[in-house]
Amino acid sequence: MTGVSSPYPSLSDLHALGAAQQPQYPDASEVGRVVEALRRRPPLVFAGEVDELRGRIAEAAAGRAFILQAGDCAETFDNVTAVNIKNSLRVQLSMALVLQYAAQVPVVKVGRIAGQYAKPRSSDSETREGVTLPSYRGDAVNGLDFDEASRRNDPQRLVEVYNASAATLNLVRAFVNGGFADLRTVHSWNSEFVRSSAIEARYEALAAEIERALAFMITCGIGGDELRTIHYYASHEALLMEYEHALTRIDSRTGTPYGTSGHMLWIGERTRQLDGAHVELLSRLRNPIGVKVGPTVSPSDAVALVERLDAQHEPGRLTLISRMGADKVRDVLPPIVEAVEATGRKVAWVCDPMHGNTFSTSNGYKTRSFDRVWAEVDGFFDVHAALGTWPGGVHVELTGNDVTECVGGAQELSEENLAQAYESACDPRLNRNQSLELAFYLAQRLND
Ligand code: PEP
Ligand code: MN
């Protein structure tokens, strides 16, 4: 096996592996200073919380829980506002509530949040009206505006990622511990949203039912702190070597390295090379790790990845996030599941129905259709039903705001509607209504 044999690789060891999708910076000494500054900062998450999440993912791997991993494709610094964070959290909690109440399955709530600032790109550059500039690689690297200054890579942005993530986590922690997520207030989660759609009405009815059930429990003397707070975790794609390495800390309890930029870290479809830097770095961390698995992964590739990333056969360690596309999932996923299960490992199987179903419209928008998104989830459930394995969760790009980025759904958004509120800095997200609709479909499938 190639790679680094000492307990923890250095940054130059990782770069020597030819880390994919890394920004080039003009001034290496400035990058060095930023990395040193980040190394002195406090961790964003704590080892004990990371262990707790690993335990919860192990429950999903064992067929006793369902993971809801959701949030923006790309967070942006400008969008770190109380309203955005509240709306995102609220739609995620509402979806979890639907799943938990209607399907009676514990939901492990993991946001694509507080660190999702770096994007892998299929092309290094972008051309508009004859002008070619470097691609936008996420606010962690450069700016979205299409001009030369904005598209320049700036290492100081890594400090801003840390600050924005800390601010986001601070509010998220306040919300989930401070009564906002109290189950006795489910009705108010919805109160600021238009209740015109059939989906919202359905959600209202469910919330009313839950309130009645809770009121009954309370008269029986059941309930208290368990109703008041929830467990919610942060995750992002661990893409940038400098940032992830600088936020690695040795846990004083165990002497082992933890990535402290988020509870769960995942490796993307473009950076999962077996001998690459991302696999090497994450194989050394104690965090629960996700790996995106696209349609070009062979069963033996998948086995090699799980052997590398879950050497200890540890339940909860590894989540395989399949993103095959609705047309391929039924054919490509089964031999992968069979091969991985045959190793005796218990991984969590999660479906990302977004990234294999993206297309461009004739009016120039990158979009996804709700029907195809659901078709992939449906295929994923069928595959697991046929194999006797557990569909352990979904991984979706969504926002709590009323955007128009994905077509279809109960509101029947059309390609012409996309221009109304297309706000994503990268991939199209489900809006609040489409997200709730997905949750109701999921609950139904989990009940089958
Ligand atoms: C993403 O999750 O935004 C992403 C880029 O996914 P993938 O690595 O699966 O393409
Ligand atoms: Mn995306």
Q: Which pLDDT does position 206 carry in this prediction?
A: 86
C-beta 395 within 6 A of ligand 1:
no
Residue 202 CA, ligand 2 centroid: distance in Å:
29
> Cβ of 52: how many Cβ atoms within 10 Å?
14
Q: Which pLDDT does position 2 carry in this prediction?
A: 40
Q: Which pLDDT does position 194 carry in this prediction?
A: 53
What does the alpha-carbon distance between residue 389 and residue 127 come to, in Å, rounded to a whole number?
45
Cα 338 to its chain centre, rounded Å, is 25
Instruction: Count the residues in the chain.
Output: 448
Q: Which pLDDT does position 4 carry in this prediction?
A: 47
Residue 253 CA, ligand 2 centroid: distance in Å:
36
User: Among all chains, which residue has been given the structure tokens 């509101």?
Assistant: 411
Is there a binding annotation on residue 112? Answer: yes
SS3 of residue 323 by DSSP:
coil
User: Among all chains, which residue has been given the structure tokens 């029986």?
Assistant: 220
Is there a binding annotation on residue 351? Answer: no
Strands, DSSP E only, in 312-387?
318-322, 348-351, 358-360, 366-368
Q: Which pLDDT does position 1 carry in this prediction?
A: 33
C-beta 137 within 6 A of ligand 1:
no
Instruction: Classify the complex by whether its ipTM is higher than 0.90, answering yes or no.
Output: yes
C-beta 72 within 6 A of ligand 1:
no
The reported pTM is 0.96
Residue 179 CA, ligand 2 centroid: distance in Å:
31
Q: Which pLDDT does position 209 carry in this prediction?
A: 87
SS3 of residue 259 by DSSP:
strand
Helices 432-447 and 82-103 cross at an angle (nearest 10°) of: 20
Residue 207 CA, ligand 2 centroid: distance in Å:
31
CA-atom Rg of the chain in angstroms: 21
| Residues with pLDDT less than 70, the chain | 1-6, 190-196
What does the alpha-carbon distance between residue 423 and residue 137 come to, in Å, rounded to a whole number?
17
pLDDT per position as a tens digit, 169-179: 999 999 998 88
Q: Which of 99, 249, 51, 81 is nearest to 164 (CA)?
A: 81
C-beta 73 within 6 A of ligand 1:
yes
Closest atom of ligand 1 relative to the 116 alpha carbon: 3
Is there a binding annotation on residue 328? Answer: no
Q: 4 and 280 in contact (C-beta within 8 Å)?
A: yes
C-beta 268 within 6 A of ligand 1:
yes
| Ligand with the closest atom to the CA of 292 | 1
